[in-house]
Amino acid sequence: MKKIIFGIMFTFLCICSVSAFDNTLKVYDYAQELSNTEEELLKSKIDKYIEKYNMDMVIVTVKHHENYDTNKYANDFYTYNDFDTNGIILVIDLSNHKENISIETFGQAKSMYQNKVDVMINNINNTLNKGYYYAADKFIDMSLNYENIKINKLDNNSNTYLTIFLIVLFSILFSILITSIIIILCTNKKRNSSITTSFNHIKEGTLIINVRQEKFVTTHTKSNIKNTK
């Protein structure tokens, strides 16, 4: 009986907690880094974004431990709190005085901000030293004018260029290796063929090796000198 009562109470609390969440605020400063005025200013600009693109936008500041997955948190926060199917979320995670930035896109926003999220995160990181409000404001401005975000094509294609370079380099090295093996094999074959030919010209019994031992006769000559008087 107690378990049943506990289960009912737990379900009731879960329903209350879900119903208590207000997904119309759009700015959730759980890290308490924004003033009320700053939150209102950001909310006002977010409303303009929603009106312009008919998409949702959410900004969250939070404090987690160092190894927390900020990207997963951003995805879960947006998905489980019943925001629009099309939208974008910014999460600034202040863990151990180190900011982790995550931007997740959903629905049509994925194609809108394709290949631009990394540029946006870099710009936000460069603005954080001014304050979290300015970083969030920068995020909204870039989202409102996403078509003006310039992408470094070299950076986007760097992986492709590297892959092509490695393929060409491997092909060259492989060609050199095969050529070297062929040359070595041909050289050894020619050398073996030359030795075989030389032995073929020598018939059995025609090669005679004479060993001659020469003896030298040495003589000693004695001279007798006589004195005559």
What pLDDT, in 10s, does the model give residues 174-206?
889 898 888 888 887 766 665 555 555 555 555
For residues 45-54, average pLDDT: 96
Q: Say which residue the tokens 């003006």 belong to.
A: 148
What residues have CB less than 8 Å from 117, skipping those under 6 apart?
Answer: 103, 105
Encoded tokens for 119: 């540029």
For residues 202-218, average pLDDT: 51
Encoded tokens for 88: 């974008």
Identify the residue with better confidence: 105 or 228: 105
3-state secondary structure of 92: strand
The residues that bridge with 58 in the sheet, in sequence order, are: 89
CA R_g for the chain: 44
Encoded tokens for 124: 């936000």
Name the band, by pLDDT with cuts 50, 70 and 90, for residue 114.
confident
At residue 97, does pLDDT exceed 50?
A: yes
State which H helix or E strand residue 178 sits in.
helix 158-200
Fold of 23-151: Diaminopimelate Epimerase; Chain A, domain 1 (3.10.310)
For residues 28-47, average pLDDT: 96
State which H helix or E strand residue 62 sits in.
strand 56-62
Nearest to 72 by CA among 86, 41, 93: 93
